[in-house]
Amino acid sequence: MKQEPDIILRRPVLIPYRLMNCLSLQGKAKKSFGNGSAYYIGCYTDKETLKDIYQKASQDAGIHKGFKEAAWPLIIRSGVNQHGKCLHYVLNYSEVEQQMENLYEYVQDLLTGISFKKGEKIHLADWGVAILEEQEWK
């Protein structure tokens, strides 16, 4: 009897291969280790599937804050300042004005003073930046 490597047997399969001779194998899998997880992608995949895997991985890591919703040329980086406030830096890497839907419950742009509720449009000038501070709902 052929022994499969344990690395294949112990991973939850996210998406199996579709080819007949590979049905017992997995194309994408997740493996827990210590306090975290690793995701294995052993095949070519389309962009949407890859985005879904990245979104799931970021949710599992507790860092998901609108990952899938923001896409190039808009980049979002987040952090916490010395006062414990959550900040989101939105960068427009484009010579064209961009807009995005506010992904957070209630934020204030520290550069303009404008506040946005979730779902409202935020406009960024070409090569613009917004620094969004999460606020308590007023």
| Residues 4-29 pLDDT 10s | 444 443 445 555 545 444 444 455 56
Q: Is the pLDDT of residue 43 over 60?
A: yes
**E-only strand ranges, the chain:** 13-16, 26-33, 36-41, 74-80, 86-92, 98-101, 106-109, 115-117, 121-124, 129-134
Q: What is the pTM of this model?
A: 0.58
- Domains of the chain, earliest start first: 6-60 (no CATH), 74-134 (2.60.40.1180)
